[in-house]
Amino acid sequence: MPRTVVFETTGGPEVLTVRDTPLPEPGPGELRLRVAAIGLNRAEALFRAGTYLEEPELPATLGYEASGTVEAVGEGVTGFAAGDHVDTVPAFDLNDYGVYGTHVLVPARATVHRPRGLTPVQGAAVWMSYLTAYGALAEDGHLRPGDHVLLTAAASGVGLAAIRTARRLGAVPVATTRTRAKAPALLDAGAAEVIVTGEEDLLARVHDATGGRGVRTVFDPVAGPGVLTLARTIAPGGRLIVYGRLDPRDTPLPGQDTFAPVTSRFYSMHEVTRDDERLRRARAFVTAGLADGTFTPAVDRVFAGLDTVAEAHRYLEAGTQTGKIVVTVDDDADEAADDSAGG
């Protein structure tokens, strides 16, 4: 019997329940997947809490990233067949589709063949992070070889992907973390410098790391008034990109009203995933990085079974992870989990 994670009211992880549901049949342009593993994202926690960009239409399910096997193909779909091993990419609204379940429907355009050599756990841990980093750092060519890029709260899945993306572009990643315990993982991912913001002076360290020039780009998921300090690390002509809102306070965008020599903007990976041509380029970029080993899915912890989803959300919201949190759904993914964790 198919099982699906649902919630009937917004709130904390405790609102998530697992229910038996009918087997869904794919419509035009859709695939039905037998899910092996699910990658968790902070956007889903915000959606569940009712604080995301879109309000959930209750009762609701959720989930952007899954790895699994195609079971059925809808009318008009080409390029996929039953038995294909695939991953989903975040190219849909959570009110339209969700992948927290054993058998789910997804748009074919939001599905990719799993890259060779990846386990289901790794396949569920790669696309959101690397597509987000690609769109912000690589898509428009602003970040150039030799440029310094400041990556704040860099121990997240997106932060680690951004370090590796910057390296692939020839740029120099400078990573920040609040605690020194996460510094080794950032250095292992390729950070040229790690600044422990709970202990060190950010402005002084960036000055020293860049030879006084400042950084070309700041890539920040925190937001809030702290962006004014981040703007002081940016060289003239540089850019501040805010892609999250860990700090719920108002976010002043430097350069918008002070005529500072920087530009600043809010960014969403949907700018890439909902545009077919940008998504094509992004998939090619990420797939190439995976093929040559430049990109590696970073998995912090694996939870076994849909019934652990509330516990996994609590762990996600604690903010102690380094890399991605994954929930396995079937036995094959469970067997691969030990090899993937920490990878």
Q: Which residue, among 143, 125, 131, has the nearest Cα to 301 in the 3D structure?
A: 125
Residue 216 corresponds to which tokens in the numbers above?
Answer: 């070309």
Separation CA 323–CA 125 (nearest Å): 9
Neighbours of 83 (CB within 10 A): 8
Tell me how far apart the alpha carbons of residues 338 and 228 are, in angstroms, rounded to a whole number.
42
CATH number, domain 3-126+297-340: 3.90.180.10
pLDDT at 343: 39
The predicted model scores a pTM of 0.92
What CATH homologous superfamily does 133-271 map to?
Answer: Medium-chain alcohol dehydrogenases, catalytic domain (3.90.180.10)
Cis peptide before 145 (omega within 30 of 0): no
Map out the domains of the chain as residue ranges.
Answer: 3-126+297-340, 133-271
Tell me if domain 3-126+297-340 and domain 133-271 are identical in fold. yes
Residue 288 has pLDDT above 70, yes or no: yes
Query: Residue 342 has what pLDDT?
Result: 40
Q: Determine what percent of the chain is predicted with pLDDT higher than 90.
A: 87
Q: Is 248 exposed, middle or buried (0-12, 13-18, 19+ CB in 10 A)?
A: exposed
Q: What percent of the chain has pLDDT over 70?
A: 94
Quick: pLDDT tens for 136-168: 999 988 999 999 999 999 999 999 999 999 999
**Quick check: 336 pLDDT over 80?**
no
Does the pLDDT value for residue 335 go beyond 80? Answer: no
Of 36-50, 243-257, 289-303, 313-327, the poorest mean pLDDT is in 243-257
Please name the residue ranges forming H helices in the chain.
42-49, 120-123, 127-137, 157-168, 183-189, 202-209, 227-231, 270-273, 276-291, 309-318, 331-340
Arithmetic mean of pLDDT, 66-89 = 98
Which tens digit of pLDDT belongs to each residue from 173-205? Answer: 999 999 999 999 999 999 999 999 989 999 999
The alpha carbon of 267 is separated from its chain's Cα centroid by a whole number of angstroms, namely: 13
Classify strands 148-151 and 215-220 as parallel, antiparallel or unpaired.
parallel
The per-residue pLDDT of the chain, averaged, comes to 93
pLDDT for residue 337 is more than 60: no
pLDDT at position 130: 97
Q: What confidence score (pLDDT) does residue 255 get? A: 66
- Model pLDDT, residue 319: 86
Statement: residue 293 has pLDDT above 90:
yes
Q: Report the SS3 class of residue 190.
A: coil
At 1 the pLDDT is 87
